[in-house]
A = this chain, B = another copy of it.
């Protein structure tokens, strides 16, 4: 029986502090140097334990401000949920949306393919960041087929897009193709989410179509990995 490595012991002791409520959800952990001293180890080893808990989704870091205890995960049902604001509110949490940019442009290849358009076709691009209980958890880029949404720039984008589709354009999106890939956040997304490079994340893409099969929306989302649990409930008859 080989004994457990020190950093896993530290992980267990830290987790105990969280489970007992000594460090409640959302609270800040003591400084790394303090913890290292208290546990009689070095910062390097302590950080290994912290990284472990981060990977598990128990704690997260806010850029140079410290480590925090992760709150309960949000349940996301991609098949059913279409409004971030709505399903966040329904779970007793507080959503917030920040618009980073909106512009009309020409579809590049990847976007064109996803929207079933020729390269260079007119599309809108909307970039947003979303907060959960004031924590930045998601950055998304949405490309829209401009042909179906004339004058879209007149509307507000800090609320549900799908609501605008329905109320203004009488468009209902009933078909979705979704992919979910666990990965690490790098580059642009790191900057937008204000996290450290390599932070574990989820890459979710969504293509949405009308009942007639017209592709309206292509969405790319990058989530912090500890925020979500994905739930699906399906029936298949074949």
Task: Please tell me the number of chain A residues within 8 Å of chain B, measured between CB atoms.
Answer: 40
Q: A175-B234, A231-B177, A234-B175 are in contact. Are A182 and B79 (CB under 8 A)?
A: no
Query: In the complex, A233 Cα to B233 Cα: how many Å?
Result: 13
Chain B residues near A231: list those with CB within 8 A. Answer: 177-180
Interface centre among A5, A52, A79, A181 (most CB of B within 10 A): A181
Please tell me how many copies of the chain the complex holds: 2
Chain B residues near A73: list those with CB within 8 A. Answer: 181
- Cβ B182 vs Cβ A234 within 8 A: no
- Cβ B229 vs Cβ A179 within 8 A: yes
- Cβ A182 vs Cβ B232 within 8 A: no
- Cβ B56 vs Cβ A184 within 8 A: yes
Q: A78-B232, A232-B232 are in contact. Are A52 and B183 (CB under 8 A)?
A: no
The 3 closest A-B pairs by CB, nearest first: A55-B184, A180-B230, A178-B232
Which residues in A have some Cβ–Cβ distance to B below 8 Å? Answer: 5, 8, 51-52, 55-57, 73, 78-80, 174-184, 186, 197-198, 200, 202, 211, 225-226, 228-237
Q: Knowing that A174-B236, A177-B231 touch, tell me 14 more A-B residue pairs with CB under 8 angstroms.
A: A5-B197, A51-B198, A52-B186, A56-B183, A174-B235, A176-B234, A176-B235, A179-B230, A180-B229, A180-B231, A181-B229, A182-B226, A200-B200, A234-B234
